[in-house]
Amino acid sequence: MDTTLGDSTLGRQWSVFFAYTAWSVVGVLVMLPLGVALFAGLSVPQAFAADPISSAAVTLQIGLGAWSGWRALAVWAAAEPSTARDRWDLPQVGRLPTDLTLAATGAPSVLITGTVLLGGADPRLLLISLSLLVTTAAIRWRWEIGMACTLIFGAVAAALSGSLTEAISPATLVVAAVIMTRLSLWLAAMVRELDTARQAQAQLAVAEERLRFARDLHDVTGRDLSVIAVKAELVAQLAERQDPRAVEHGREAAQIARTSLAEIRALVRGYREADLATELRGTASLLRSAHATVTIEGDAEDVPARHAGTAAWVLREGGTNILRHGDPSTVMISLHPSGVTLVNDGAPGPREVHEGSGLTGMRERLGPRATLSTHREDGTFTLDVRFDAPGGTR
């Protein structure tokens, strides 16, 4: 069965919970007919011996119902998340696509109904068939329609069994199955909303950081560039009149440009070289926001001061690469006097690591004596940076 989701931006938590929900619904659709058969006192071997055709039709219908439920959930998961809310301000669920899989699930019920009316099949087989059809349909439609279908099923069960008391147990089982599947859908919708909100929060944080940097850059360069432009126009006018003051104003413009360049370099240096302790907390928070379990060995004070900037930069780039190229559930960060090590799972691929621009950029930024090594084994990726390796082979 295909568990691929249409929206690749959704996170691992939603993917896992969707698989859990889908398999739970399939399990309910498979086990429900068996439970109804048990309450109705129908033995499966005896049913096959007495009426193999109708019994085979019910068995086929169980498979079709499981397939229909799975397909409905898969299509729902692949579609854009809905912002519709119900009257209780909860995610609106139960409006899943109605397609040919539902019609295929109902076909055996039509066959068995005709056989029962002709007196050639056990009415309890029709009861089992209808219980599956009602539950499969109820998860696709509004809860009011689903509960109405269960009431109709209870009436049919009473008519087939000839006793209201005997119809209570299978009807109650169908009601429980419908409620359980709809609660599973509601929980899945809530998890999807939370996952979408987490993605939006991460994107908003990146956008805010870009705006902050753009604002700082504008504050630093805006005034200086305006002054340089005015000075340049003044120098041009003085030069046309062969005024000796043009040289003085030209030198002033050059000095302003050099000062502005120094301020830009300081701004960029401060942006890139974050405090190690701050970067450690930020990287751990970023990974935990992706629901990864982060273990930290050592702290920022264990790293020599002359390597603190390099270690902070490695943490920033390494943490970003873990989320970009993997799907981690556990991450270990080790800080020690000789280097930084990051180990994460959720990194499938060949043992030999193909280095992209991220790792290449890391190597270029490291000092001449530093080394960077990578290793992947059984889905676990290790990035190890040493500050003062003997020989500095890199």
What tens digit of pLDDT does each residue of 33-53 get?
888 888 777 777 777 777 788
Q: Which pLDDT score, from 0 to 100, does residue 6 have?
A: 38
Contact 60, 66 (CB under 8 A): no
Q: Is the pLDDT of residue 326 over 60?
A: yes
* Phi, psi for residue 39 in degrees, rounded to 5: -65, -30
Q: Is the pLDDT of residue 67 over 80?
A: yes
Task: Give the Cα separation of 29 and 14 in Å (integer).
Answer: 22
Give how far Cα 13 sits from Cα of 163, 193, 240, 241, 289, Å. 47, 11, 70, 72, 11
Please tell me the pTM assigned to this model. Answer: 0.51
Q: Is the pLDDT of residue 1 over 60?
A: no
More confident residue, 271 or 333: 333
User: Which pLDDT band holds residue 389 (cuts at 50, 70, 90)?
Assistant: low
Q: Which pLDDT score, from 0 to 100, does residue 297 have?
A: 93
Q: The tokens of 358 are what?
A: 């991220």
Give how far Cα 268 sits from Cα of 213, 261, 280, 366, 386, Å. 9, 11, 20, 18, 25
Q: The tokens of 183 are what?
A: 């609660």
**Could you tell me which CATH number the domain at 276-386 has?**
3.30.565.10
What tens digit of pLDDT does each residue of 103-126 get?
788 888 888 888 877 777 778 888
What tens digit of pLDDT does each residue of 207-229 get?
777 777 777 777 667 767 777 88
Q: Is the pLDDT of residue 340 over 90?
A: yes
Least confident piece of the model among 84-88, 135-139, 351-355: 84-88
- For the chain, residues classed under CATH 3.30.565.10 are 276-386
Q: What percent of the chain has pLDDT over 90?
A: 7
Q: Which pLDDT score, from 0 to 100, does residue 349 have?
A: 77
- For the chain, residues classed under CATH 1.20.5 are 201-272
Q: Which pLDDT score, from 0 to 100, does residue 282 have?
A: 80
Contact 341, 334 (CB under 8 A): yes
**Could you tell me which CATH number the domain at 201-272 has?**
1.20.5
